[in-house]
Amino acid sequence: MTRTHSGAWWLWALGLAVVASRTTNPVLLALVAAVAGFVAVTCRAAAPWSSAYGMFLKLGLAVLGIRLVFHVLVGGFTGTTVLFTLPEIPLPDWAAGIRIGGPVTAEGLAHALYLGLQLATLLCCVGAANALADPRRLLKSVPAALYEVSAAVVVALTLAPQLAVSARSVRRARMLRGDPARGRRAIRTLLVPVLEDGLDRSLHLAAAMDSRGYGRTAGLPRRTRVLTALLVFGGLIGLCVGAYGLLDSAAPAIIGAPTLLLGVLLAVTGLLIGSRRVRRTRYRPDKWTVRSVLIACSGLAAGAVTIVADSLGTADLVPTTSPLSFPDLPLLPSAGVLIALLPVALVRRETRS
């Protein structure tokens, strides 16, 4: 079976995340989380990272719980249906507007629940992408001009668990000296060996990379380097502003899609100029097969449908909580989200044939 491009899964998840960021409707949010989870579970490969969805789901639920607890304690949204009243802590005048304890309303709780659910759903989308494609493989697909950056990130990702291991062994060894290692002294007695170890490792790694030909073809002329950096940096700013405009429905239309497009254009040009001179090959690179494109498109279509529905203003994307009413199922966006189930059909067909 050919591997789906990691980028395809991340684009697919991005599409779902766009839906989640546009709505606080709990029914739609639950649908998004369910679709993301279903696809993650059916399409993931047997790989060390494929259990990521469950982890992110738990994280999302924790976020939801924290959001609710904070709402109950600190309040911040008033309504008429008081469920119960907590003893209120009186605060001095200068803290006017802040309230600890006091009445907890059904409207407020619903509002907090919707917002928390939105965050949890976004986390589910990230989790699904993590389960389906190793983020490190994604780094391998970056343009050659960014190779140094991606190598640094990969090394850092590998080094972090190694440092944790070395900290554990040093702590254990410290117990052998009868030194329970607490307080300020502990920092020194633990940190010195761990950092020395980290430094040693980095030197070994640098020597190994050098002996294995790292940086053989480095040395772009200065002008190209500056031009690439400027274009990429400008492009990234455009991307950020554009994405913000697209996701925040209150932003003026000009900040949305056009800025995003301009950013993409700048960044791509910069990377192409930079990559032309780098001579490196890639072992089994991810390829944009028809299947990969279809998967990416299915996720992005879900996002696009929600944006269209939002601009038409017909769908109940941000249900009111005051007065409290049960939110409707927004038909058009829900149909859009269901498009994102396409990968399941593609993978099923693959395994059958």
Residues 241-280 binding other proteins (CB under 8 A) are 279-280
Q: How far apart are CA 126 and CA 129, in angstroms?
A: 5
Whether omega before 90 lies within 30 degrees of 0, making that bond cis, reads no
Nearest-approach distance from CB 59 to other proteins, in angstroms: 20
Say whether residue 184 binds other proteins (CB under 8 A).
no
Which residue's CB is nearer to other proteins, number 185 or number 348? 185
Residue 182 touches other proteins, criterion: CB under 8 A: no
| 180 scored as a contact of other proteins (CB under 8 A) | yes
The token pair at 178 is 């009868």
Q: Does 148 help bind other proteins (rule: CB under 8 A)?
A: no
Q: Which x/- pattern over 282-311 shows residues binding other proteins (rule: CB under 8 A)?
A: xxxx--------------------------
Binding-site size for other proteins (CB under 8 A) equals 48
CA angle in degrees (0–180, nearest 5) for 31-119-24:
55
Q: How many angstroms separate the first and last alpha carbons of the chain?
A: 10
Residues numbered 33 to 62 that lie near other proteins (CB under 8 A) are 48
| Nearest to other proteins of 210, 328 (CB atom) | 210
For residue 84, state whether it binds other proteins (rule: CB under 8 A): no
Q: How far is residue 273's CA from residue 133's CA, in Å, rounded to a whole number? A: 28
Between 99 and 136, whose beta carbon lies closer to other proteins? 136
User: CB of 275: closest distance to other proteins in angstroms?
Assistant: 13
**Identity (one letter) of the amino acid at 91?**
L
Q: Is 183 in the site for other proteins (CB under 8 A)?
A: no
* Tokens (6 digits) for 135: 């983020």
Least distance between other proteins and beta carbon 151 (Å): 8
Alpha helices in the chain (DSSP H): 6-22, 26-43, 52-74, 106-132, 135-140, 147-176, 183-211, 222-247, 257-275, 290-312, 331-339, 342-352
* Residue located via tokens 């117990």: 175
Comparing C-alpha atoms, which of 205, 209, 190 is closest to residue 158?
Answer: 205
> 92, 178, 252, 323: which one contacts other proteins (CB under 8 A)?
178
Residue in the block written with tokens 């008081």: 82
Which residues are within 8 A (CB) of 208 and not within 5 positions of it... i.e. 6 or more apart? none
Residue 48 exposed, middle or buried by CB count within 10 Å (0-12, 13-18, 19+): exposed
Site for other proteins in 115-144 (CB under 8 A): 136
Does residue 188 bind other proteins (CB under 8 A)?
yes
Question: Nearest 5°: phi and psi at 256?
Answer: -80, -115
Residue number, 94 or 283, with CB nearest to other proteins: 283
Q: Which of 209, 229, 261, 308 binds other proteins (CB under 8 A)?
A: 209
Residues 314-353 that bind other proteins (CB under 8 A): none
Q: Does 189 sit near other proteins (CB under 8 A)? A: yes
**Contacting residues toward other proteins, per CB under 8 A:** 48, 136, 151, 154-155, 157-158, 161-162, 169-170, 172-180, 188-189, 192-193, 196, 200-201, 204-217, 279-285
